[in-house]
Amino acid sequence: MFLGEFEHTIDDKGRLTVPAKFRDELEGGVVVTRGLDKCLWAYSRSEWEILAAKIAKLPTTTNQAVRNFSRFMFSSAFDSIPDRQGRVLIPQNLRNYAGITNETVIIGVMNKVEIWNPENWGQVLSAVEEDPQAIVAQLEDLGI
């Protein structure tokens, strides 16, 4: 399980050093794709395969939202294996999407890692901290 928040930089070759705490889980491969909040989502190879199998079972033929989500997730997905220093390449198109130039915030979110532009992450975190009751109300509807 991925937990925690870390600040890291992307080098001039577009490589991001994975936090040491996450390396064991990602050593078999990592898939990085666009996230839904202008961040990047990174999955271990095994978690990516679970997600892909779930998406494959959805009605892509008859549901436009499913087709669009599939396109969004898979068209930008990039898989790699971390090098000996624990670095993974983040392609330029993904960095552009998330507004990442050099500095990043990497957070663990249970089964995936999110990679953020620090300013964007700060805005998301501030919004949650300023009005936690808004989230509580939505979570109550979900039974949490």
Helix axes of 132-141 and 118-130: crossing angle, nearest 10 degrees: 80
Helix extents (H) in 9-141: 20-26, 45-56, 64-75, 92-98, 118-130, 132-141
SS3 43: strand
pLDDT tens column, 2-44: 999 999 999 999 999 999 999 999 999 999 999 999 999 999 9
- Enumerate domains of the chain plus CATH numbers: 2-117 (3.40.1550.20)
Residues 41, 112: Cα–Cα separation, whole Å: 7
Q: Residues for the chain: how many in total?
A: 144
Distance, in Å, from the CA atom of 111 to the CA atom of 127, rounded to the nearest integer, reads 23
Model confidence over 23-32: pLDDT tens digits?
A: 999 999 999 9
Taking only the tens place, the pLDDT of each residue in 120-136 is 999 999 988 888 888 88
Which pLDDT does position 69 carry in this prediction?
95
d(CA 89, CA 18) in angstroms, rounded, equals 10
Q: How far apart are CA 28 and CA 76, in angstroms?
A: 20
